[in-house]
Amino acid sequence: MNTAMIVARVEARGIGRRRWFLALLVLGAALIVAGVVLAATRNGLAATDTMRSWTGAVYLVGGLLVAASLGASTMNRDADGGWVGMQVTTGTPRVTVALARIAGRLVALVAVFAIWIIIAAICSAAIGQGGDWPLFVHGLAMLENMVLVLVTAALCSVALGPVASAIVAIFFYVSCLSLV
């Protein structure tokens, strides 16, 4: 296994053990379930609309929180995390470590969206809506958008602090949406 794969795996596992990451994952899942419980009290299109709006809000707001947080903390804490020492001892170029860390964080982001999409599909079937194909496609589209936010924040974290990187990434995302 090459160095980039090892770094990406270590990064993804490390992210998966962080409390804030798990808290956002569980909070998003709980909000999806709450939206579906609320949708179960309604009939017809009102139920579908309630479920989709709650789940879409989790995809947007929760996705922005997860993606910006993952991306903004990618590069600016290299010395504290031991990555600089790893670069020196193995001779791995910084760009390799940086790209591998971004890849590990992308894996974590994909895992969050996969869990949220699966929970939404199960809940949709549980209230009699069946498989909600438009909601599934919307989840994948939001994942694509959040990859953009994560990568932007990660690239900004080379020169900026975590908060500034997250803000720049979110502004970049909003700017891209306004152009479309």
Quote the pLDDT of residue 87. Answer: 61
Q: Above 90 in pLDDT, residue 98?
A: no
Assign 72 a pLDDT band (cuts: 50, 70, 90): confident
Measured distance CA(82)–CA(120) in Å, rounded: 38
Nearest CA among 105, 100, 99, 101 for reference residue 146 = 105
Could you tell me the CA-to-CA distances from 114 to 29, 89, 137 in Å, in that order?
Answer: 11, 36, 12
Assign 63 a pLDDT band (cuts: 50, 70, 90): very high
Measured distance CA(121)–CA(149) in Å, rounded: 25
Measured distance CA(111)–CA(91) in Å, rounded: 31
The helix/strand/coil state of 129 is: coil
Assign 77 a pLDDT band (cuts: 50, 70, 90): low
Q: Mean of the per-residue pLDDT values for the chain? A: 84
Nearest CA among 142, 114, 118 for reference residue 131 = 118
The single residue listed with the structure tokens 């009102």 is 46
Spatial contact of 165 and 76, defined as CB atoms under 8 Å apart:
yes
Assign 78 a pLDDT band (cuts: 50, 70, 90): low
- Calculate what percentage of the chain has a pLDDT beyond 90: 24
The number of folded domains in the chain is 1
Quote the pLDDT of residue 109. Answer: 95
∠ CA(176), CA(142), CA(52), 5° rounding?
125
Quote the pLDDT of residue 80. Answer: 56
Quote the pLDDT of residue 113. Answer: 95
Q: Above 70 in pLDDT, residue 103?
A: yes
Mean pLDDT of 134-151: 90
Spatial contact of 152 and 173, defined as CB atoms under 8 Å apart:
yes
- What is the per-residue pLDDT across 5-57, written as a single tens digit (0 to 9) for each? 888 888 888 888 889 899 999 999 999 888 888 887 877 777 777 888 888 89
Quote the pLDDT of residue 1. Answer: 61
Instruction: Give me 108's structure tokens.
Output: 């974590």
Domain residue limits at 173: 3-179
